[in-house]
């Protein structure tokens, strides 16, 4: 780690005085190349990161307020999209991938998935009126059984994004080895290795700039959907223990974040409903995290370049759907970003499902917030499980139900 | 001067069952490359093609088709990129075989060169924000 250069308190003091030196994870690469690690580490206080891409494990927690007479909502729809009501009376949760109830799905393949949870979230945050239809069975204390009303974000009590898994630290590169086109969450994949789809923001991506989670932890204040949010917990499928390269960068999907933030402070520019053909609905989430340059090591991590980050190439026509674990090889984000990679001797075009220019914009906005608007940095209250924690992602050990057994532990 | 034009032909029902496209070659000496066709008897037909020939002959050939009830549009009017819906992810770029859609560097914005489009419509399928529209 080396000598401590500054503490969180010292950084925040400089932020409050408007004197903090802030750079984006992209800008700092050139500066380190020019001035060297040691000198740059003494100059730069904070490095900002960003990512803007499909993050399926996202959703919205909200409370609509009580009706008269009261109602304990059992089933609810927002603009026709099923919303989970298995909570207290008028608390609801809407998931980003939930598809509108009358959608034909993949009955005629590939389905269009025109409208779903992600789109409702974007419409809500844009201030549009949304149709809420709810039903219940009626109780003595909550007698009402039907409700149909327009709602608007401004009238709701609490409404916050609570995304169980965002900001994946690295991700697969998807290809198609079969002889027909396939439709995936990493885009349309043409047959016979016709193209490749990838997702990570690479050198701008938050967890790739803090690969061992030294500064990003529970309680870290972040840019979320255009507003302020927080890291709430390790994300689902958080998997810190896998193979890493010599720069400490995981060679595949690894750490993840659960994040939370007030939707009323966010913007439809940074929460975008997606229709992924043949796959389903999702939400593009804008997320950015500031990283304090506590010492030279943190700057070393933040100076990571696309060329030094590798991702596994996986066949989404067989290896991925069947979970074989087979990897066709590794490619780096420098080549992915340039638009050409070589897989099994064939040069193929690449395309991202996440927006690099918008990731860059997020890092810029966060930089401005810190440099000019007194957005301070938070000390994590709990570290994310690290490489040595033993936390590993596991697949489901299926124990099929058979006659007379219910598989439950007694 | 030899020129190449990309056009979309809409055939009315009455013109579908007559062999008028081949007349472009027979009467006007034009070459053509059919990029896409959806023609069936008793329905309006649609054909996207590239016509190659002397510009004068090109015009005469197209006029010949017009006189026989075929509606003609330049191709570039048919696949549109709606800028305000584009988030510049670039998903479309990987499926665009003619590089009509391309990632501009270093801005990393997706640009569209209408002249290169052959209306395969893969981008319309691929775009997760409905920013690419086919207006046939």
In total, the C-beta contacts within 8 angstroms joining chain A to chain B are 72
Extract the tokens encoding B102.
């391309």
ipTM of the shown complex: 0.93
Cα(A199)–Cα(A252) distance, integer angstroms: 12
- Based on the fold, state whether residues B41 and B63 are members of the same structural domain: yes
User: Å from A183 to nearest chain B CA?
Assistant: 9
- The number of folded domains in chain B is 2
CB-nearest partner of B87 from A114, A195, A355: A355
Mean pLDDT taken over chain A? 96
- Is A405's pLDDT higher than 70? no
pLDDT confidence of residue A164: 98
The values of phi and psi at residue A18, to 5°, are 70, 25
- Based on the fold, state whether residues B11 and B58 are members of the same structural domain: yes
Q: Is A334 helix (H, G, I), strand (E, B) or coil?
A: helix
Cα(A117)–Cα(A56) distance, integer angstroms: 10
CB-nearest partner of A276 from B87, B95, B128: B128
Q: Which residues contact A260 (CB under 8 A, 6 or more apart)?
A: A160, A161, A162, A163, A224, A229, A230, A232
Cβ within 8 Å, pair A196-B94: yes
Which domain-ending residue is among B76, B99, B125? B76
- Based on the fold, state whether residues B49 and B98 are members of the same structural domain: no
B-chain residue closest to A351, CA distance:
B94
- Based on the fold, state whether residues B20 and B60 are members of the same structural domain: yes
- Based on the fold, state whether residues B19 and B37 are members of the same structural domain: yes
pLDDT confidence of residue B5: 87
Question: Which structural domain, as residue segments, surrounds residue B46?
Answer: 2-76
- Is A384's pLDDT higher than 90? yes
Tell me the CATH number at B101: 3.30.70.20
CB-nearest partner of A272 from B92, B109, B129: B129
Chain B residues with beta carbon closer than 8 angstroms to that of A188? 91, 94-95, 122, 125-126
pLDDT tens-digit map of A23-38:
999 999 999 999 999 9
- Is A215's pLDDT higher than 90? yes
Cβ within 8 Å, pair A358-B87: yes
Domain limits, chain A: 8-55+165-379, 65-108+115-156
User: Å from B129 to nearest chain A CA?
Assistant: 5
User: Å from A274 to nearest chain B CA?
Assistant: 5
- Based on the fold, state whether residues B118 and B72 are members of the same structural domain: no
CB-nearest partner of A274 from B88, B107, B129: B129
- State the best of A52, A334, A357, A363 to mutate against chain B, taking most chain B CBs within 10 Å: A357
Extract the tokens encoding A308.
């030094």
Q: Which residues contact B118 (CB under 8 A, 6 or more apart)?
A: B6, B35, B36, B48, B50, B75, B97, B98, B100
Q: What average pLDDT does this structure show over B40-69?
A: 88
- Is A331's pLDDT higher than 60? yes
- Based on the fold, state whether residues B46 and B86 are members of the same structural domain: no
Using only C-alpha atoms, what is the Rg of chain A? 23
Which domain-ending residue is among B76, B93, B112? B76
Which domain-ending residue is among B76, B100, B124? B76
pLDDT tens-digit map of A39-92:
999 999 999 999 999 999 999 999 999 999 999 999 999 999 999 999 999 999
Tell me the CATH number at B38: 3.30.70.260
DSSP A303: T
- Based on the fold, state whether residues B39 and B14 are members of the same structural domain: yes
- Is A407's pLDDT higher than 80? no
Cβ within 8 Å, pair B108-A357: yes
């Amino acid at each position: 780690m080396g000598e401590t250069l500054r503490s969180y308190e010292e950084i925040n003091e400089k932020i409050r005085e408007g004197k903090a030196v802030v750079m984006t994870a992209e800008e700092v690469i050139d500066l380190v190349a020019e001035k060297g690690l040691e000198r740059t580490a003494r100059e730069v206080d904070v490095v900002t990161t960003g990512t803007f891409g499909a993050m399926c494990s996202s959703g919205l927690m909200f409370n609509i307020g009580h009706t008269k007479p009261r109602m304990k909502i059992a089933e609810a729809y927002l603009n026709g999209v099923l919303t989970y009501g298995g909570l207290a009376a008028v608390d609801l949760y809407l998931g980003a991938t939930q598809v509108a109830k009358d959608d034909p799905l993949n009955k005629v393949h590939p389905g269009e998935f025109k409208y779903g949870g992600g789109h409702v979230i974007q419409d809500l945050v844009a201030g549009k009126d949304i149709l809420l239809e709810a039903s219940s069975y009626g109780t003595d204390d909550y007698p009402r059984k039907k409700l149909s009303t327009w709602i608007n974000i401004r009238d709701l009590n609490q409404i916050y994004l609570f995304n169980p898994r965002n900001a994946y630290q690295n991700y697969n590169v998807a290809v198609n080895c079969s002889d027909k086109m396939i439709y995936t969450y990493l885009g349309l994949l043409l047959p016979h290795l016709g193209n490749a789809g990838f997702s990570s923001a690479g050198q701008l991506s938050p967890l790739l700039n803090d690969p061992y989670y030294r500064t990003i932890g529970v309680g870290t204040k972040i840019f979320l959907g255009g507003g302020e949010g927080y890291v709430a917990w390790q994300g689902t499928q958080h998997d810190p223990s896998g193979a890493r390269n010599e720069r400490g960068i995981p060679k595949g999907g690894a750490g993840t974040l659960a994040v939370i933030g007030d939707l009323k402070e966010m913007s439809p520019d940074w929460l975008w409903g997606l229709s992924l053909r043949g796959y389903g609905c999702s939400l593009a989430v804008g997320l950015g995290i500031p990283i304090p340059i506590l010492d030279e090591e943190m700057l070393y991590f933040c100076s990571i370049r696309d060329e030094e980050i590798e991702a596994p190439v996986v066949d989404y026509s067989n290896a991925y759907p069947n979970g074989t674990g087979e990897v066709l090889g590794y490619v780096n984000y420098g080549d992915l970003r340039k638009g050409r990679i070589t897989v099994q001797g064939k040069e193929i075009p690449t395309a991202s499902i996440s927006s690099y220019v918008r990731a860059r914009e997020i890092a810029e906005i966060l930089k401005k917030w810190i440099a000019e608007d007194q957005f301070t940095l938070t000390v994590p209250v709990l570290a994310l499980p690290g490489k040595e924690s033993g936390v590993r992602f596991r697949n489901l050990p299926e124990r099929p139900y058979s006659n007379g057994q219910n598989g439950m532990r007694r | 001067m030899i020129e190449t034009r990309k056009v979309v032909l809409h055939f009315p029902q009455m013109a579908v069952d007559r062999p008028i496209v081949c007349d472009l070659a027979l009467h006007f000496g034009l070459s053509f490359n059919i990029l896409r066709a959806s023609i069936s008897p008793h329905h309006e037909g649609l054909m996207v093609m590239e016509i190659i020939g002397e510009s004068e002959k090109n015009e005469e050939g197209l006029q010949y088709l017009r006189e026989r009830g075929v509606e003609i549009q330049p191709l570039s009017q048919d696949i549109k990129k709606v800028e305000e819906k584009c988030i510049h992810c670039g998903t479309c770029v990987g499926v665009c075989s003619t590089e009509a859609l391309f990632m501009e560097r270093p801005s990393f914005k997706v640009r569209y060169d209408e002249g290169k489009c052959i209306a395969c419509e893969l981008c319309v399928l691929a775009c997760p924000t409905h920013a690419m529209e086919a207006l046939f």
